[in-house]
Amino acid sequence: MKDLKRLLLITVFTLGSIAVQAQDNSEAITAYNEALELAQAKDFQAAIDKYKEAITIADGLGADGNDIKQRSEKAIPRLYFSKAVAAYNVFKGSPSIPSLDAAVAEFDEARTVGDDSGDTEIRDRARGVLAQLHYQKATMLFKREDFAGADEALNKAIETNANYAKAYYQKGLVHKKTNANDLEGIISWFDRAIAVGEQVNDGGVVRQATESAHAELLFRGSKAIEQGQNTSAIDMLTRSLDYNSSSADSYYRLSEASNKLGNRDNAISYASQALNFEQGGNTDKAKIYFELGVAYQAKNDKGQACDALKSASYGSFKAPAEHKMEFELKCESAR
């Protein structure tokens, strides 16, 4: 009789445990399904919370809860990413620094969750977007002339993705604004943009950085000529050719600086190269022919000087070229 009572108690307890476990399993499934519905309704935070609830219930079910737990754990990082995308869409609808910062915070959280959960796809996608958002913030601040803020955002972009070539190029533009006299610093950022751009096959950045480096050296070399610093000008103009070896403007300025230094052979050589690369018409070539004429005149080569100055007689160089031909060289063509 005692054994029968004991058996009945065990049976009741066992049936009770099974009933409780079945109820817990049902609650886990219900929480999971509710999370799915919330996710479909784009209520991402509520869906995340509900998935976490499903995981908590599933943890108490042992092996029976593994399926619900694994499905929920897989869904959560993706929901964090979706939540971040929603924040970015808010920024797109009404662009502002605060709304951009909010999107950055969401993607940063998605990256962390992806990393912690082992979801490398979400981690890497979030990291890629983060670098772009930091860069976008930098360009917004740059337009507002908040160069310190832009530089800070670019540093974060590079820290997030060291292969983000655009950020290095923009650093060069910021450095140009904040350290205008630091030519080497400016060029070094453009060089890094070129190197990273080539590494990741970003031809657009390579082209932009190359053109900017060339333009910067050409501009400063031209200014140096105006200031009588012709040796320094030649150094910068020669370097500009590293970024555009077929620059007619660089060769023209090199000819001009060489003439001012009395290096006539160099002036002739540079002018000849400038003419080879100049794609414009007679007016565009006039300044080059003028330097060529000046060099030949200094070498007492009247024939070559007259021919060059005749070709220089266009646009703003027409009057000075004709003056030299008529009064200094007494060219036959000027009579």
- Which domains are assigned to the chain? 246-335 (1.25.40.10)
Is it the case that residue 35 has pLDDT exceeding 60? yes
**Residues 134 and 174: beta-carbon distance below 8 Å:** no
Q: What is the dihedral of CA 251, 304, 319, 276, to 10 degrees?
A: -30
pLDDT digits (tens, 9 = 90+) for 48-106: 999 999 999 999 888 888 999 999 999 999 999 999 999 999 999 999 999 999 999 99
**Residues 102 and 124: beta-carbon distance below 8 Å:** no
- Give the whole-angstrom CA distance, residue 259 versus residue 237: 14
pLDDT digits (tens, 9 = 90+) for 44-55: 999 999 999 999
> Which residues have CB under 8 Å from 23's CB, separation 6+?
none
- Give the whole-angstrom CA distance, residue 104 versus residue 100: 6
pLDDT digits (tens, 9 = 90+) for 213-248: 999 999 999 999 999 999 999 999 999 999 999 999
- In the predicted model, what is the mean pLDDT of residues 163-190? 98
What are the phi and psi torsion angles at 246 (to 5°)?
-115, 30
- Give the whole-angstrom CA distance, residue 85 versus residue 76: 14
- Per DSSP, the three-state class of 219 is helix
Kindly report the number of other CB atoms within 10 A of residue 143's CB atom: 9
- In the predicted model, what is the mean pLDDT of residues 322-334? 92
The rounded percent of the chain whose pLDDT value lies above 90 is 88
Is it the case that residue 131 has pLDDT exceeding 80? yes
pTM for the model stands at: 0.90
Is it the case that residue 129 has pLDDT exceeding 50? yes
**Residues 209 and 172: beta-carbon distance below 8 Å:** yes
pLDDT digits (tens, 9 = 90+) for 157-175: 999 999 999 999 999 999 9
**Residues 222 and 253: beta-carbon distance below 8 Å:** yes
Q: In which region does residue 190 sit, left (phi positive, over 0), alpha (psi from -120 to 50) or beta (all else)? A: alpha
Q: What confidence score (pLDDT) does residue 64 get?
A: 83
Q: What confidence score (pLDDT) does residue 23 get?
A: 57
**Residue 9 pLDDT grade (very low, low, confident, very high; cuts 50, 70, 90):** very low
* Closest alpha carbon to 139 in 154, 129, 156, 124: 154
Q: What confidence score (pLDDT) does residue 334 get?
A: 64
For the chain, the straight-line distance linking the first and the last C-alpha, in angstroms and rounded, comes to: 144
Is it the case that residue 28 has pLDDT exceeding 70? yes
Q: What confidence score (pLDDT) does residue 333 get?
A: 75
- In the predicted model, what is the mean pLDDT of residues 290-313? 98
Q: What confidence score (pLDDT) does residue 62 get?
A: 87
Q: How far is CA 266 from the centre of its chain?
A: 39
User: % helix / strand / coil in the chain, to the nearest 5?
Assistant: 85, 0, 15
